[in-house]
């Protein structure tokens, strides 16, 4: 029997349709990344001149910017969707509203190794990558015109990656994106009604139920959300309350790296190298908001950051686009069981 499930944080409904129950072998194996040629890759060490000047890098002592010796490197996107130089203004176009494309669009080159991807990173390599995410969020939040910073990754062509060399992206926007705004207002609503953080409750419930748990260590939990919109969706979140990803401590970064690495290894093994996206939802930085003076009040208590992994193994069709409901042919309980039990 299919079931409609409510995703409280995103205020959306998914239709979990187990009549069509699709198991891992029902999804075609992916060959991505295909054999690509490092000699044509702009992210190779020694080819730093092919990308714009680096913004930030983790490098060996004594090496200069824009030269080899880096472990993770951040450069401006060559084809940015948002730019710091663009006007941060809103204006009218006839009867319509529009805004200048102010913001920032950065590319994080996750590794100097053309053939290495996060599922085969060491914990130290994953920690380095998360460290760079954290530093960039901190730095961009320092610009008061920036209202939100989204860290995300596209892996595989179907997930939007145009280059095979492992990279992530960071987009800073002059507005709080709609989905993040929904998470803020839903979390605030729950906190005002119950006096507790929504995700802290959800985490407690999932740890107790165990059926949707994929992996946990002392500080982080990975589970398949109850109202997952796609098969094998996973949420990684601190088991303790924390609103702002940019405040993760160095020791927690290491444990977060362990959890993310395990989640991606399990996904790789279970679905045989599927394309996926992940993104981080963290509390937006406190900014003046004259129309909603209470917007940020208590946000560090009611907002709980998380990283969402969304495999791209299904296609959203007319019903999804037209209704906003999303049909998920694999129950999160089945997905979690496969992910939990897969041998690495």
Catalytic residues: 167
CB 264 → Zn ion: shortest distance, Å?
A: 19
Cβ proximity to Zn ion: between 44 and 252 the closer is 44
Of 213 and 313, nearer to Zn ion (C-beta) is 213
Interface with Zn ion, residue 22, by CB under 5 A: no
Give the range of 199-207, 208-216, 289-297, 322-330 binding Zn ion by CB under 5 A: 199-207
3-state secondary structure the chain: CCEEEEECCCCEEEEECHHHCCCHHHCCCCCCCCCCCHHHCCCCCCCHHHCCCCCEEEECCCCCCCCCCEEEEEEECCCCCCECCCCCCEEEECCEEEECCECEEEEEECCCCCCCCHHHCCHHHHHHHHHHHHHHHHHHHCCCCCCEEEEEEEECHHHCCCCCCCEEEEEEECCCCHHHHHHHHHHHHHHHHHCCCHHHHHHHHHHHHCCCEEEECCCEEEECCCCCCCCCCEEEEECCCCCCHHHCCHHHHHHHHHHHHHHHHHHHHHHCCCCEEEEEECCCCCCCCCCCCCCCCCHHHHCCCEEEEEECCCCCCHHHHHHCCEEECCCHHHHHHHHHHCCC
C-beta closer to Zn ion: residue 199 or 262: 199
Q: How far apart are CA 147 and CA 177, in angstroms?
A: 9
Q: Considering the rule CB under 5 A, would residue 197 count as an interface residue with Zn ion?
A: yes
* Residue numbers 304-343 binding Zn ion by CB under 5 A: 304
43 binds Zn ion (CB under 5 A): yes
Contact between 44 and Zn ion per CB under 5 A: yes
Write down the least CB distance from residue 248 to Zn ion, Å: 14
Using CB under 5 A as the binding rule, whether residue 113 contacts Zn ion is answered as no
- Rounded to a whole number of angstroms, the minimum distance from the CB of residue 173 to Zn ion is 24
* Residue 46 vs 61, nearer CB to Zn ion: 46
Q: How far is the CB of 84 from Zn ion (least distance, A)?
A: 27
Measured from the CB atom, the residue of 223 and 232 that comes closer to Zn ion is: 223
Under rule CB under 5 A, residue 247 binds Zn ion: no
Q: Which stretch in 19-27, 137-145, 237-245, 278-286 sits in contact with Zn ion by CB under 5 A? A: 237-245
Cis peptide before 33, with omega less than 30 degrees from 0? Answer: yes
- Tokens 């020791």 locate to 251
In the complex, minimum distance from the CB of residue 165 to Zn ion, in angstroms, rounded to a whole number: 3
- Residue number, 45 or 76, with CB nearest to Zn ion: 45
Contact between 116 and Zn ion (CB under 5 A)? no
Position 9 contacts Zn ion (CB under 5 A): no
Q: Select the residue interacting with Zn ion from 83, 116, 157, 241 (CB under 5 A).
A: 241
| Residues contributing to the site for Zn ion (CB under 5 A) | 38, 41, 43-44, 114, 165, 197, 199-200, 241, 304
């Amino acid at each position: 029997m299919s079931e409609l499930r409510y995703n409280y944080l995103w205020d959306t409904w998914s239709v979990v349709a187990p009549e069509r129950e699709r198991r891992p072998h029902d999804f075609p194996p992916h060959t991505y990344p295909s054999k690509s040629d490092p000699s044509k890759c702009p992210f190779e060490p020694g080819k730093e001149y092919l990308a714009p000047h680096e913004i930030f890098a983790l490098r060996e002592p004594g090496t200069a910017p824009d030269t080899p010796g880096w472990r993770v490197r951040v450069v401006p996107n060559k084809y940015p969707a948002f730019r710091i130089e663009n006007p941060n203004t809103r204006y009218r176009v006839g009867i319509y509203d529009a805004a200048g494309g102010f913001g920032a669009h950065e590319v994080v080159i996750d590794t100097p190794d053309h053939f290495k991807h996060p599922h085969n990173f060491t914990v130290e390599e994953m920690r380095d990558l998360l460290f760079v995410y954290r530093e960039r969020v901190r730095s961009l939040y320092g610009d008061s015109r920036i209202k939100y910073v989204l860290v995300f990754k596209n892996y595989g062509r179907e997930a939007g990656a145009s280059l095979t060399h492992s990279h992530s992206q960071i987009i800073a926007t002059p507005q709080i994106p709609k989905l993040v705004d929904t998470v803020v207002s839903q979390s605030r609503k729950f906190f005002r009604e119950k006096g507790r953080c929504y995700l802290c409750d959800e985490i407690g419930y999932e740890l107790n139920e165990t059926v949707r748990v994929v992996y946990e260590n002392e500080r982080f939990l990975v589970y398949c959300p109850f109202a997952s919109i796609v098969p094998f969706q996973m949420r990684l979140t601190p088991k303790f309350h924390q609103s702002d990803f940019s405040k993760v401590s160095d020791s927690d970064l290491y444990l977060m790296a362990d959890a993310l690495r395990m989640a991606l290894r399990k996904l790789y093994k279970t679905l045989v190298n599927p394309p996926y996206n992940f993104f981080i939802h963290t509390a937006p930085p406190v900014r003046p908001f004259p129309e909603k003076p209470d917007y940020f009040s208590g946000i560090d208590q009611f907002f709980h950051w998380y990283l969402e992994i969304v495999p791209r193994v299904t296609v959203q069709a007319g019903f999804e686009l037209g209704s906003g409901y999303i049909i998920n042919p694999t129950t999160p309980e089945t997905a979690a069981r496969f992910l939990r039990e897969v041998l690495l």
